[in-house]
Structure 1
């Protein structure tokens, strides 16, 4: 199809509109449950108290606020695609964010000192018990009358536009890692699959085997490992050979396809995953993906993704028919002297190049035959 035809066709699939709305109107929408900010996304974002105070400062000073993007659902409710932190900061400061879940005794949000308005320090929205440290009515109205452009993706648009928009707006933005973007997209696409992945990431025997640092847990790397497992453990070798140049892009695209699959076998995924890590927890525990030194007969160092790709994916592929436990342990140790592993797991070999070699290696090593 010529480029112009592709442009014209895709433009027809996207229906958008935009409004200039006051913060007061956005407050009313939230109170009426007509806008959904997806509070489950909160853990993936990292605005500090200072950033929140600076945002309120910007509103008070009349500094233009970046547009927010919403997607209109079939029931007319707006899903916030981009702008979560801006809206949640406003709702939190005013005292209505998740109010039904808050304790009545919860203290009002207080602002910090900012560059241009140092007197914001300690200020609250409206605390009857502390009027001296509350904004005045004029200041509150200044905030409520401030305008924000709202870009709306209408419900007539192609179903995937919302997720494309979310990914493109948030990649490299306020979300720290690609997996955190994927988690948010998955929550929007398929709650059941997200819940399964989260439960597998929290599976104690899996956590025992990967032995990640606190930083990697904060960056949702455990969820990325779960995603790698469920996408790759039973994928055909022909498909693995077509990963492309960027594994991160592959993970996102394949996750979206899986999330939209109508007949996804959740039980098969869960069984393969848990049996894999039940076995590894019993045999090698937190040594499962560390380097083995035969001359010292011990495992050393930290978690290695290349070892995960051979061991976890190899056992997962064969989980219904594995060698004896003692043999699995010896096979794990033997990987480190395997010529294919040594060639394709070294420095400078990226994931896209090594996976077509390491995944078949693991399947062969842990085959019962």
Structure 2
């Protein structure tokens, strides 16, 4: 019991926060003075629809409270937005000051249908410019901020971001990981992002547009790197395992990015040459058909990488090996209906490495 209480007390002191209520007008002024930072990468990864933006402005006009936003205060006193990107960006776009975006044009809503076509400033049509009293009301509307102070534990802002956005969020787990990457090390994020755009890799996946939008291809990249380079923790769900490896790679100064990149590129170059978009589709006895199979992706990509010397100069034997994979009891037992990644991976990965080790 004493150890438990000591653990709780020690971690509580890692998160030092303050709360503050600010008007929207003050928040906009902070942004214009560059005293609050919004990383442009966030805007690219998390985008609201036009309707979602208008609904937020409608809420402000009607006096409906806005959820709190979270910022991290660095040693210079500058705030970095941790959570609340779309709310803040939408307000800044309405005011016409958001960098890289055109001013927001409103549309009619359920409660204010006459809002159609209005803008904050409208030099070409004054009758479609928001009235002065509405503007003043928006400027004076309050928003609550939780400030993570600079003397918190260095991981505090990452923990807050991940916990706020995991579960109940429209963001996929990989979108959250991407933003954590950007927070911890933008250069390493760019390395991941560049790898995820590899032509051979993308052509072997044959994913839907929706899955690409949800950054599933980047999750598959991380999954490949994790399973090829780290032992799987059987006690953890795959999502938690990938979170841990994501953090490990970003914080490990000794991670061999060059080796991993070379192995990744050679693996998917071979697969694309031999099978192309059929690389991770089941062989039915005649051809590779059907949908992308996560279990096949794990087995084939990791198994091939572990045995690259055998196949880099003998592509035909790889084709036959992949065909035979789907007849293997060990593969089918771990990848059949009712299986899940947590129970599948501890058996599948050792099997795959051994299976591909012999032609």
Taking a change above 3 Å as real, the CA distance of residues 303 and 256 of structure 1, as seen in their structure-2 partners, is: same
Whether the 8 Å CA contact 1:45–1:174 is kept in 2: the answer is no
Q: Distance in 1 between matches of 2:73 and 2:256?
A: 30
Q: 2-side partners of 1:348 and 1:173: how far apart?
A: 25
TM-score normalised per structure 1: 0.92
Q: Which of the residues 315, 318, 322 maps onto 2:307?
A: 318
CA shift for structure 1 position 75: 3.0
Shift of 1:5: 1.4
Secondary structure at the aligned position of 1:112 is classed as: coil
Q: Deviations over 1:116-144 (max 9, x none)?
A: 22221111001122111001222211111
CA contact (8 A) 2:303 2:354 kept: yes
Structure 1 206/176 Cα, relative in aligned 2: closer, same or farther at 3 Å?
same
1:202 aligns to what? 197
- CA 195–8 in structure 1, closer or farther in 2 if over 3 Å, else same: same
The partner residue of 2:241 within 250, 266, 273 is 250
Task: Map 1:122-271 to 2 at 5 A.
Answer: 122-235=117-230, 239-240=231-232, 242-271=233-262
Of residues 167-176 and 56-65 in structure 1, the stretch that sits farther from structure 2 once superposed is: 167-176
Match of 1:366 in 2: 356
Asked if 1:301 is matched to 2:296, the reply is no
Distance 1:206 1:214 in 2: 15
* Mapped contact 1:322–1:367 kept (Cα < 8 A): no
**C-alpha displacement at 1:368, in angstroms?**
5.6
2:280 counterpart SS class: coil
Q: Is the 8 A contact 1:234 1:317 kept in 2?
A: no
| Equivalent in the alignment of 1:288 | 279
Q: List alignment gaps of at least 5 residues for structure 2.
A: none
Deviations 1:147-206 (A, max 9, x none): 111100011111111111101111234433111111111111122221122111111111
- Per-residue deviation, 1:2: 2.4
TM-score, reference length from structure 2? 0.95
Q: 3-state DSSP class of the match of 1:2?
A: helix
1:63 aligned to 2:64? Answer: yes
- Residue-pair matches, total: 357
User: Is the contact between residue 73 and residue 150 of structure 2 (CA under 8 Å) also seen in structure 1?
Assistant: yes
Unaligned runs of 5+ in 1: none
Q: CA deviation at 1:322?
A: 3.8
